[in-house]
Every structure is written in C-alpha cells, then in structure tokens.
Amino acid sequence: MSEERGAGTLADRVAEAAASPEKHSSDELRALFRELKAGLNDGSIRAATRQNGQWTVHPWVKEGILLGFRAGGLVRALAASDFPFFDKDTMPLKMFDGPSRIRIVPGGTSVRDGCYIGPGVTIMPPAYVNVGAYVGAGTLIDSHALVGSCAQVGERVHISAGAQIGGVLEPVGQLPVILEDDVLVGGNCGIYEGTIVREGAVLASGVILTGGTPVYDLVRGEEYRRVPGRPLEIPARAVVVPGARAVQEGRGREWGLSLQTPVIVKYRDEKTDASTALEDVLR
C-alpha cells in the first residue's frame, strides 16, 4: 500500500522535491528515488491502489519516478555486451535470485529496477517491464509483450504474445492501465490510457482498448466509454472480441466503411473457464 501523506513522509518529501527540483542537489534527488524504488521493488509502494472496489492513483509515486529520470546520468548499460546500450544510471535492470520463484526465460527480456514482480511470475522472451509497474503472483507475460510504466497487473493474469499493456507516467494524476486478477489478454491486444479491466475478464486476440474506444455490451445492452473523471472499464468476467460499427455520416457512410470497436459477446461461465484452464500448464 502506498505511503500515506504527512509531514516528513516519503510521499511528502517527494512531492516537495517535485514541486521545486532546482532547490535540491542531484545526490538528494537520487537518495529520494532510491528510497522510493525500494518500496516499488517490494510492492509496499504502488502507483495506484484499490480500496472498496475503487482504484486511486498516487501522483507522488509518478513524481518520484520522474525525479529519478531527472537526477540520472547517461551511462553505458550491460557493459559485458559487445553491443552498447545506454540508459540513465538511476534506471538499472532489476536483479532476481532463485528464492524469488520468478522464472525469466533467456532471450532478450528486460525488467527495469523499481517494479514489483510477484512470486511465481513467468516472463517469456523477449518481454519488457518498465519502472513503477506491479505484476502480481502467478502471472504469465508472454513473448513480445510490454508492461508499461506504472501499469498495475493482478495475480494469475495471462498477457499473451505481442500484447501491449500501456502504463501512464504523465500526466501524474492520470490512472495507469489496470488489469485485475485472473484476466486473460489475448495475443496482439493493446490496452492504453488508464483503462481498467476488471477481474476474470477475457480479451480475445486483437482487441484494442483506449480512452476514446466505445465498448458495446451485447449481453447487458450497455455502451461503455471513458468520461471525465472516470476511465473506461471492462466489467468483471466479460468476454470481449474485436468488432466493427458502421460509419453513420458523410462519405464514410456512402462508402460503406466501418470503424473497429470491441464488443462484449458473453460473460465467463464454466465452459469458458475450462477452456482457459490449459494456461496453468504453461506457468
């Protein structure tokens, strides 16, 4: 859980430094960022948390990550490699050990320091997990998948090959992308702009969710959109497939064009659960 605000707390000190970074030395900013990263690494600090079913963003966490970029200097990374890589020295790769029970298969994966990777997580190559992300226990991140900065991924989630889970580092007050427990994200899906996918939902291959995406629920007869102050949400256990909606005006209508839109065609039942149970074999 993210640290509560109050005089002298890490949250308070980060917010003050973010408001006037020029008043702080590079060493002071680095020390603040190291303290923040320690909490991000062990999961005690998160960019967003859920309470009573509602998600709340913690802007000070994002502000602290941005301070880390500001304070860092460009250095050569992976010095043992023949091909040079360069990054901020405040953003090294995350280190793991055997007792963490995290499986990272060789082949080009990068996990930045300052993110939480829960026990039993499997990462197939190549994949990328950015700073500030939270990945819950037992989750599978498949090949060519991205978990963006500050994205929040629950337990037992399956992120299939080629899926892109956007983060949202800026603006600091915007909710990051959130996947709750037991979500299945199909191959080549894209989830962006603070979308929340509630527990147990299934996104079929190729579904794209953005802040401007309308989602049509054929089961409940509802239409879901992002509105000011409230992100796009996919209901719990919804099964979402790629769909299309006809252009109703202008030349698009004359030409018979359609725009892509996700469609909820059902909600998970015992049959759906049985078909997804095979993923446990891959973990």
Class of domain 10-74: mainly alpha
Tokens of 108: 């080009």
User: So what's the pLDDT on residue 100?
Assistant: 81
User: So what's the pLDDT on residue 83?
Assistant: 81
pLDDT of 275 above 70: no
pLDDT band at 76 (very low <50, low <70, confident <90, very high): confident
pLDDT band at 246 (very low <50, low <70, confident <90, very high): very high
Q: Whole-angstrom Cα distance, residue 47 to residue 148?
A: 12
User: So what's the pLDDT on residue 282?
Assistant: 53
pLDDT of 118 above 60: yes
Q: Whole-angstrom Cα distance, residue 109 to residue 234?
A: 29
User: So what's the pLDDT on residue 161?
Assistant: 98
Percentage of the residues of the chain whose pLDDT score is greater than 70: 93
pLDDT of 260 above 80: yes
Closest by Cα among 167, 146, 156, 147 to 121: 156
Q: Does domain 93-274 have CATH number 2.60.40.10?
A: no
Domain definitions of the chain by residue range = 10-74, 93-274
Q: Whole-angstrom Cα distance, residue 112 to residue 130?
A: 5
Query: Where would I find the H helices in the chain?
Result: 10-19, 26-42, 59-71, 250-254, 270-276
* Over residues 259-263, mean pLDDT: 95
Q: Whole-angstrom Cα distance, residue 189 to residue 70?
A: 32
User: So what's the pLDDT on residue 102?
Assistant: 95
Q: Bigger pLDDT: 63 or 84?
A: 63
User: So what's the pLDDT on residue 229?
Assistant: 87
Going by C-beta distance under 8 Å and a sequence separation of 6 or more, which residues neighbour residue 86? 74, 75, 76, 77
pLDDT per position as a tens digit, 145-159: 999 999 999 999 999
Q: Whole-angstrom Cα distance, residue 106 to residue 134?
A: 21
pLDDT per position as a tens digit, 81-108: 678 889 999 999 999 987 788 999 999 9
Please give the sequence-ordered ranges of beta strands (E in DSSP) within 230-279, or none if there are none.
Answer: 233-234, 238-246, 258-267
User: So what's the pLDDT on residue 77?
Assistant: 83
Q: What burial letters (b/e) apply to 31-69, b meaning 16+ CB within 10 Å?
A: ebbeebbebbbebebbbbbeeeeebebbbbbbbbbbbbe
pLDDT of 273 above 80: no
User: So what's the pLDDT on residue 145?
Assistant: 98
Residue pair 88/69 in contact (Cβ under 8 Å)? The answer is yes
User: So what's the pLDDT on residue 279?
Assistant: 58
Q: Bigger pLDDT: 225 or 8?
A: 225
Q: How many residues does the chain have?
A: 283
Q: Bigger pLDDT: 43 or 283?
A: 43
pLDDT band at 239 (very low <50, low <70, confident <90, very high): very high
Residue pair 149/167 in contact (Cβ under 8 Å)? The answer is yes
Average pLDDT of the chain?
A: 92
Confidence (pTM): 0.93
* Over residues 206-234, mean pLDDT: 95
User: So what's the pLDDT on residue 176?
Assistant: 96
User: So what's the pLDDT on residue 79?
Assistant: 67
Question: Would you put residue 188 in left (φ > 0), alpha (ψ -120 to 50) or beta?
Answer: left
Going by C-beta distance under 8 Å and a sequence separation of 6 or more, which residues neighbour residue 198? 180, 183, 233, 234, 235, 236, 237, 238
The angle at the Cα of 146, spanning 59 to 211, to the nearest 5 degrees, equals 55
Q: Whole-angstrom Cα distance, residue 274 to residue 255?
A: 42
In three-state secondary structure terms, 147 is strand
User: So what's the pLDDT on residue 99?
Assistant: 78
Percentage of the residues of the chain whose pLDDT score is greater than 90: 83
User: So what's the pLDDT on residue 50?
Assistant: 96
User: So what's the pLDDT on residue 80?
Assistant: 66
Closest by Cα among 191, 184, 189, 183 to 167: 191
